[in-house]
């Protein structure tokens, strides 16, 4: 596989779940990974695991719902590294469980600010460095709920349908600069997302049948090591057996 040594990768939602696995995967290929999430203690733990495996990372405790904090992160990456080769917009929240007509406005806003506005602001902050370099990868983590209806999860589903539209449009804007923009849409992944699974033998069996975070990380690694003349624009990742 291509060596990512010397490259800067920024991964949002790197504190746990898919983002942590993606960060470990990119660091294992040699990238210096900027780990972004709110919980600094959890980010420190991921950084420790990367160090232990001989990789490089720095942490950035950022609330992605804050446009100012994202702008400051962009400036910091410009000052410290003056490059950004890979951006993985992975952070996301669910707030699933109510029909839309009972969904509080705060839940709608939190969902859209995290799942759709933050990827826009991260791209706005970091894509200029990719355009200058005439290379780069932006990978947005969507969901199969961004292709299918999700009753009692309309805001989440709509935010992911929106993220798909953003991805396809930005891919067309940036391909002329050698920047490749892709979306990964996984089915159920075994993480704490939406509160995680209850404990018990049947839940453990279901969790084992789900997609594992490392499976998503493998797809990210595949996308960022594609030969420069082509790119995988979309991956639908399904569990082999329905959980």
Ligand X SMILES: NC(=O)c1ccc[n+]([C@@H]2O[C@H](COP(=O)([O-])OP(=O)(O)OC[C@H]3O[C@@H](n4cnc5c(N)ncnc54)[C@H](OP(=O)(O)O)[C@@H]3O)[C@@H](O)[C@H]2O)c1
Task: Tell which one of 17, 136, 153, 162 touches ligand X (CB under 6 A).
Answer: 17
Task: Tell which one of 24, 70, 96, 141 touches ligand X (CB under 6 A).
Answer: 141
Q: Note whether 74 binds ligand X by CB under 6 A.
A: no
Which of 120, 156, 168, 177 is an active site residue?
156
Q: Note whether 95 binds ligand X by CB under 6 A.
A: no
Site string for ligand X, 100-129 (x = CB under 6 A): --------------x---------------
Q: Note whether 15 binds ligand X by CB under 6 A.
A: yes
Task: Tell which one of 52, 106, 192, 202 touches ligand X (CB under 6 A).
Answer: 192
Task: Tell which one of 4, 9, 11, 16 touches ligand X (CB under 6 A).
Answer: 16
Distance CA 115, CA 122 (A): 11
Decide whether 63 or 234 has the Cβ nearer to ligand X.
Answer: 63
Window of 61-69, 95-103, 131-139, 166-174 that interacts with ligand X by CB under 6 A: 61-69
CB under 8 A, 24+ apart: contacts of 108-117: 108/155, 110/65, 111/155, 111/156, 111/159, 112/155, 112/159, 112/162, 113/64, 113/65, 114/64, 114/65, 115/156, 115/159, 115/160, 115/162, 115/163, 116/159, 116/162, 116/163, 116/166, 117/65, 117/67
Window of 12-20, 23-31, 101-109, 218-226 that interacts with ligand X by CB under 6 A: 12-20
Distance CA 191, CA 207 (A): 9
Task: Tell which one of 189, 217, 223, 224 touches ligand X (CB under 6 A).
Answer: 189
Q: What percent of the residues of the chain are helix, what percent strand, and what percent coil, each to the nearest 5?
A: 50, 15, 35
Q: Note whether 91 binds ligand X by CB under 6 A.
A: yes
Other CB atoms within a 10 A radius of the CB of residue 218 amount to 15
Q: Note whether 186 binds ligand X by CB under 6 A.
A: yes
230 and 171 in contact (C-beta within 8 Å)? no
92 and 114 in contact (C-beta within 8 Å)? yes
Number of Cα atoms under 13 Å in the Cβ half of residue 191: 25
Window of 26-34, 164-172, 189-197, 220-228 that interacts with ligand X by CB under 6 A: 189-197
Q: Note whether 64 binds ligand X by CB under 6 A.
A: yes
* Residue 168 annotated to the active site: no
- Judged on CB neighbours under 10 Å (0-12, 13-18, 19+), 183 is buried
Window of 51-59, 80-88, 91-99, 172-180 that interacts with ligand X by CB under 6 A: 91-99
**Which residues of the shown chain bind ligand X in the complex (CB under 6 A)?**
13-19, 37-39, 42, 62-65, 90-93, 114, 141, 143, 186, 188-189, 191-193
């Amino acid at each position: 596989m291509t060596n990512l040594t010397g490259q800067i990768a920024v991964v949002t939602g790197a504190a746990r779940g898919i983002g942590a696995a993606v960060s470990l995967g990119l660091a294992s290929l040699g990238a210096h990974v900027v780990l972004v999430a709110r919980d600094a203690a959890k980010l420190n733990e991921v950084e420790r695991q990367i160090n232990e495996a001989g990789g490089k990372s720095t942490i950035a405790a950022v609330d992605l719902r804050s446009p100012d904090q994202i702008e400051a992160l962009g400036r910091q990456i410009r000052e410290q590294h003056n490059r950004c080769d890979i951006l993985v917009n992975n952070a996301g929240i669910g707030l699933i469980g109510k029909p839309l007509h009972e969904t509080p406005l705060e839940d709608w806003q939190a969902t859209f600010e995290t799942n759709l506005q933050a990827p826009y602001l991260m791209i706005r902050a970091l894509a200029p460095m990719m355009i200058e370099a005439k290379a780069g990868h932006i990978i947005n983590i969507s969901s199969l709920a961004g292709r299918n209806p999700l009753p009692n999860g309309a805001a989440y589903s709509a935010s992911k349908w929106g993220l798909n539209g953003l991805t396809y449009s930005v891919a067309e804007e940036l391909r002329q600069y050698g920047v490749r923009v892709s979306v990964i849409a996984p089915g159920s992944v075994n993480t704490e997302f939406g509160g995680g699974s209850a404990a018990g033998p049947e839940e453990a069996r279901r969790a084992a049948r789900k997609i594992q975070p490392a499976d998503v990380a493998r797809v990210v690694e595949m996308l960022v090591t594609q030969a420069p003349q082509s790119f995988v624009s979309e991956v639908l990742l399904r569990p082999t057996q329905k959980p």
